[in-house]
A and B are shown apart, each in its own frame.
Chain A
Amino acid sequence: MRPARLLPVAAVLLVAACGSSSTDDKADGSGKITVAASDVSCDVAKAESAAGTVTFAIANKGNKVTEFYVYAPGDRVMGEVENIAPGLSRELIVELSAGKYETACKPGMIGKGIRNGFTVTGSAAPLTEDAALAQATEDYQRYVKSQTGALIEKTTEFVNAVKAGDAEKAKALFPVSRTYWERIEPVAEIFGDLDPAIDAREDGLEPGQEFTGFHKIEKDLWVTKDISKDGPLADKLLADVQKVVDLANSAKLSPVQLANGAKELLDEVATGKITGEEDRYSHTDLWDFAANVEGSKAAIAALRPALEEKDPALVKTLDERFEAVTSALEKHRKGDGWQLHNELSEAQLKVLSDNINALAEPISKVAALVAQK
């Protein structure tokens, strides 16, 4: 990690530049970590420390009154020294358990300050069983169960329509059955070889791999316009979906997997649905889009009590941005469903894309937050 090696050099240089005769005041025998603060820099002599009591010795070499903070993720203040006048030095003593922190000098005592990363290593604080996280896993399992039930039901209807040769009914059921699939896709993806059998796209096939699943039938419905030979395909789809459902209902996702699932669902939207690649024959991508967002929201909802404890500001941001995505998408509602992808202009797609990016960036921070005690 770079700051650890970089910062001592910076400290020495700054000291030299400021005319001090000392060449090594960065780590004295007492184990204090020196912080050279100026109006435009904040040079922390060490970027990591062992868990326990950590002492920072802050020297204000600037022209403005400054402050020094140690933050845990979510800007939780672990310790602070305020009002360090120019020319003065102060100490901050903090208890830190293993994890990632940030230090900040605040020249002028306003703003977010000049930040540096600070890593505390060593034995973590005793592993208290986190009730909120355990609850999250259980809540999400319940959600998966509810979705898998509907998935089997709607896939069965879809498969029956295909086998009955009822193309119109099959077309209507195609995006609907996929909705339940798309909501829990990260769970399904855990079971490697079943996901491609159910959901592979034609251009994603390996040489020799058979084209099966939803998108093969989609192509036959919309492009080839011949589902007369799709009976076996339809049966195989239902059997594969049933296998995934059985596995998914017995799987227990860790909180970190849940958080990553929430992010991956949005990545699916950003790369596959915004571009119209997923449902290229039917153009029903907005159904999948909505389902991915709902699935992501469900995963975050399960984690919510844990997140509220760790970073309430992030929860607020996520709430607002889920709301923004939902209302942006709502503009494209059509009857019980959605407009087709090819009915949207590039400018409309960009608005959706901006909203997904706006949500996915903060969501990408959730996993690490959940992982840190």
Chain B
Amino acid sequence: MKRRVVIGAAGLATAGLAAGGAVALGRREEPVPVSGTAGDAVPFYGVRQAGIVTPAQDRLHFVAFDVITKRREDLLAMLESWTAAAARMTAGLDAGTFGAVGGAPEAPPDDTGEAIGLPPSGLTLTIGFGPSLFGRFGLAGKKPEALADLPRFPGDAIDPQISGGDLCIQACAHDPQVAVHAVRNLARIGMGVVSVRWSQLGFGRTSSTSTSQATPRNLFGFKDGTANLKAEETALLDEHLWVREGDGPDWMTGGSYLVTRKIRMMIETWDRTSLTEQEAIVGRTKGEGAPLGRTAEHDEPDLTSDAIAKDAHVRLAHPTQNNNARLLRRGYNFVDGSDGLGRLNAGLFFIAYQRDPRRGFIPVQTSLARHDSMNEYIRHVSSAVFACPPGLAAADDFWGRSLLT
């Protein structure tokens, strides 16, 4: 069995390069595969956590955990084990050191095996810490003010059982099996320390996080994420995405706040809405994705024009209507089969990163929840917020160390 042999190894080499500093970059071209192909590894170590400005992969498995141990040292030990497994899996290796078939025959394998033969597939694993964690382990003094539970918005139909969580892992990959494999192995390593609270599979990214990516469509059939923050807009990212020194506790400097919302779409009623009304609700054309009254997708919407209705989604969500709030959206379409009435149980698993939800998601959603004409066709059914610290520079560090020690 040789899952990910060459590419996985190259991923490690690349990671070595990134952290090594004084190395001859000119030698890279031969062993390192062309970046952007679906099989490649994304470096695990770096200044930022991967999976935020990383060009959005095609698939998602998002999982939230409750911490069930009372002992800080157990939590620390698990986070250290998680980090080692995450570094291996993102490089295309097995979760454990002996792998799915290399261990002692009397022992259960230290990797579950369903990713044998699969390349790294751009897997990123991004960790976040939820507000509920900070009531324990002596963490109260380290809780950022920005990390408050989201308020209730008008029309919310939030199910607490699929909301919140002490920890989260966002696993993104170009192959769903690789993402699921990662979450499954981390959940297994965490048994006794954490318990899965809820998880969500997503297919079909609904946002572009890089100018190199075309804008995909959500399940309403519209392009989604046209005006997203993009990896290349570094000045905007510094202003709107990354937590700066002085914003809050040091352990979050260089990190970002993650908001997730599971948004059920009333697919069947939307589908029998006229094209004109659909476009009026969104404020963009369905084909090109241009703001109404303009011609091309990336044209700036003319909000002084009557072409875009007062309650159109694009107007209400626009930065100029929300004190210049900008988000890096990274959501995925989901379909959880059908419900008991035969309706598609589908929608958008909304994910957004930002420097401070109080100046990002909260004002935007307040405006949308009150006025958006799209509300007739959507229900927000789950909600969560997490603090995602900066990346790990090298293997002597691990997830959560700066927070918990």
Chain A residues packing against B (C-beta within 8 Å): 1-7, 9-10, 13-14, 16-19, 38-43, 47, 61-64, 100, 102, 105-117, 119, 256, 259, 321, 350, 354, 357-362, 364-365, 367-368, 370-372
Docked complex Cα distance between A114 and B45 (Å): 13
Additional pairs, 10, CB under 8 Å, beyond known A13-B9, A63-B20, A112-B81 = A2-B3, A2-B94, A2-B116, A16-B13, A108-B394, A114-B84, A114-B395, A364-B107, A364-B108, A368-B107
The reply to whether B19 and A40 form a contact with Cβ atoms under 8 Å apart is yes
Q: List 23 A-B contacts (CB under 8 A).
A: A2-B100, A3-B98, A5-B5, A13-B12, A17-B14, A17-B23, A18-B27, A39-B19, A40-B44, A42-B395, A61-B20, A63-B20, A100-B98, A105-B395, A112-B81, A114-B84, A116-B97, A117-B103, A256-B106, A354-B192, A360-B191, A367-B106, A368-B107
Which among A17, A109, A371 is the interface contact of B17 at CB below 8 angstroms? Answer: A17
**Chain B residue at smallest Cβ distance from A259:** B106
> Which size class do B's interface residues fall under?
35 or more
* Contact between B103 and A368, CB atoms less than 8 A apart: yes
Q: Are B27's CB and A354's CB within 8 A? A: no
A354 CB contacts on chain B under 8 angstroms: 68, 191-192, 195
**Do residues B103 and A9 form an inter-chain contact, with CB atoms below 8 A?**
no
B104 contacts the other chain (Cβ, under 8 Å)?
yes
Q: Is B36 at the interface (CB under 8 A from chain A)? A: no
The answer to whether B396 and A1 touch across the interface, beta carbons within 8 angstroms, is no
The 3 closest A-B pairs by CB, nearest first: A358-B192, A108-B396, A368-B107
Q: Which of B5, B23, B395, B398 contacts A6 (CB 8 A)?
A: B5
Residue among A9, A19, A112 making CB contact with B5, cutoff 8 Å: A9
B2 touches A13 (CB 8 A): no
Q: Which residues of B contact A (CB under 8 A)?
A: 1-6, 8-10, 12-21, 23-24, 27-28, 30-32, 44-45, 68, 80-81, 84, 87, 93-94, 96-108, 116, 188, 191-193, 195, 393-398
Residues of B with C-beta under 8 A to A114: 84, 87, 395
- Assess whether A107 is in contact with B5, with CB atoms less than 8 Å apart: no
| A362→B191 CA distance, assembly (Å) | 9
The interface residues of chain B lying within 8 Å CB-to-CB of A2 are: 1-3, 5, 93-94, 99-102, 116
Residue of A6, A107, A360 with highest tally of chain B CB at under 10 A: A6
Residue among B24, B45, B106 with the most chain A CB within 10 A?
A: B106
- Is A370 touching B15 in the complex (CB atoms < 8 A)? no
Task: Find B396's partner among A4, A18, A106, A115 (CB 8 Å cutoff).
Answer: A106
In the complex, the answer to whether A117 meets B9 with C-beta atoms within 8 Å is: no
Residues of A within 8 A of B394 (CB): 39-40, 62, 64, 107-108
Least CB separation from B1: chain A residue: A2
B107 and A19 contact, CB distance less than 8 A: no
A1 touches B87 (CB 8 A): no
Q: Are A40 and B99 in contact (CB under 8 A)?
A: no
Judge whether B107 and A39 touch: CB under 8 Å: no
Considering the chains assembled together, what is the distance between the CA atoms of A11 and B170 in angstroms?
30
